[in-house]
Chains A and B, each alone.
Chain A
Amino acid sequence: MIAAHEPIQRPPDAKLLAIDATGRITHWPRRAFPALLSRGDLVVANDAATLPASLRGVHVASGRNIEVRLAQRGSLDPEDVRDFAALIFGEGDYRTPTEARPLPPVLAAGDVLALGPLRATVRHLCGHPRFVALRFDGTAQAIWRGLALHGRAIQYAYMRPALELWDVWTPFAGAAAAFEAPSAGFALDWALLAKMRRRGVEFATITHAAGISSTGDEALDALLPLDEPYRIPSSTADAVARARERHGRIIAVGTTVVRALEAAAAPRGLVHAGAGIAATRIVPSTQLRVVDAVLSGTHEPGTSHYALLGAFVSAATLREADRELETHRYRTHEFGDSVLVERAALPIRPRPAQRHAA
């Protein structure tokens, strides 16, 4: 596939590969997404706004320049911004692909990191020379201010211009929670939401602290995705129940929504409202309990995103989709094209025939 180099969330020629419940693959302009939905379906997106999680600064003990990428926090509580897990990179910037970035100076518990107006202390290493738990000095308000003034969106080496915060906020971003953009949501805009509403499709959101998607380091990437906090509003849990009642499908926008909804799964395909931590990885052997289909970016085999798609369809179907993505020159990465993958009707889990009769 081709990398999408420009930070354009909705290029007019964006493409959508759809895999339906029978495994049939079709190609669409992505703006036709609402036409693939049926009256009664529920579309659930992640409303996390992306944090300026990349902080430049100095490792005080060695005097060397570093870049800190915040990667995880314990909850979505606005006061809970002192403690983060973070990846630390050495000299250089994002123009160097992450896999070629030098390691940071040797880090130890108690090391102070001066990050513009922010100061943080390394609490301990998390089993890798560049993966640490850190704690910021100061009040929650001072930390939010420091992040807003000094932080930048995490950058990607393949992007031509530097990403600004507005490039990585989806149109409906509303909760300061994500470390990298929940980029499947780039596909939707307000006109599309209105179109879905006119077709009798419901729309609801959850908040999930989408984490770093890759680090350029195999040992670290094996840890991804990290445990991520989420929140499901009771209005969204109610919308899931209504959709179940009328035999509509639950369509997740992005892998983060799949993780959150499945982590909150309750009996009979419902979800529990409230805050939680998405800790389990979704892999081909995972039995999906809530989500019927996922709208996602295009992903390369070997990534955690790709493994998640394996819970929806067979490996053979995914391989066929990969060939189609190559043949039709789909674009990949955050600002690339999309896939809509519906859970195979059989043999994974038989469902009543009327589910597709809407």
Chain B
Amino acid sequence: MNRTNERSNDLAALRIAITGGTAGLGLALVREWSARGAAVAFVARTPGSVERIAGEIPGATGIVGDVSKKTDIHPIALQILGRLGGLDVLVNNASSLGPVPLALLADTDCEDFEAALATNLLGPFRLTRALLGALRASAAEDRGAVVLNVSSDAALTPYPHWGAYGASKAALHHMSAIWREELHDEGIGVLSLDPGDMDTALHALAIPDADRTTLRKPEASARELTRAIVAELHELAQQRKRSHETRRQA
């Protein structure tokens, strides 16, 4: 494994918030960024899990909240900003499958569809919007600013039984693309990436009889996503350097 650029404390200057941070990919990201020195805040719904992970990773800030609830968003954002003193990277990772077990769209209850949209689309929209000012300030202060929305191949491929999840992830993917265009001039990068099929509790809920040996470890996906975020931060730094030079010449 190539870890030449992944020294301990190489992310020490960065402040990151990760939703869905007590299990699967989110937890792997919390561990990866904490181990590499970043200031980390993570969000999850269950107080017990938040407490357990916060105890396990000293220094990480655990926040109890449900991103699918409109009234939880500002309390979550306030704790992120309060504890980290600002924000450089936001990972919208918390996801809902919709109906469990997975169902044909024709058999999907509206409430389950709405729950998938609330967690996978509206939650990331609201939380990103609430934190956009902090991200703009980070970009302006030459720290860089990246939003990563965790997507899925189900956003592009119409898998039967994955209607609520796939439709919500497709919308998230498209929203990310539009936001990427709109925020380019603010110096904020927006990514939408597929971490692959991972051996996680969410995957086990969706496909209980999957052959787990064929699934990726969430730690591997977390490192890959981290590389993508770091690359985006690097690209944004280049963009800022070019615009500083243009400004000097103007």
Contact = CB atoms under 8 A, between A and B. Distances in A.
Interface in A176-227: 176, 190, 193-194, 197, 204-205
Contacts of A149: 75
Interface string B134-149: 1111001110000000
A26 interface: no
B83 interface: yes
A173 interface: yes
Interface in A38-93: 47, 49, 51-52, 76-78, 81
A235 B142 contact: yes
Given A47-B137, A164-B74, A169-B74, A194 B185 contact: yes
Contacts, number: 92
Given A148-B75, A149-B75, A171 B82 contact: no
A174 interface: yes
Interface residues of B, number: 32
A308 to B, nearest CB: 24
A interface SS class: mixed
B interface SS class: helix
Nearest to A81: B82
A190 B76 CA distance: 22
Interface in B56-84: 61, 63-64, 73-79, 81-84
Interface of B: 61, 63-64, 73-79, 81-87, 130-137, 140-142, 182, 185-186, 247
14 contacts: A49-B133, A77-B85, A78-B85, A140-B83, A144-B82, A145-B64, A148-B75, A164-B74, A170-B133, A172-B136, A197-B185, A204-B140, A205-B137, A205-B140
Given A145-B79, A175-B81, 16 more contacts: A47-B134, A52-B78, A141-B61, A144-B83, A147-B78, A148-B78, A165-B74, A165-B78, A166-B130, A174-B81, A174-B133, A174-B134, A174-B136, A190-B132, A190-B186, A233-B141
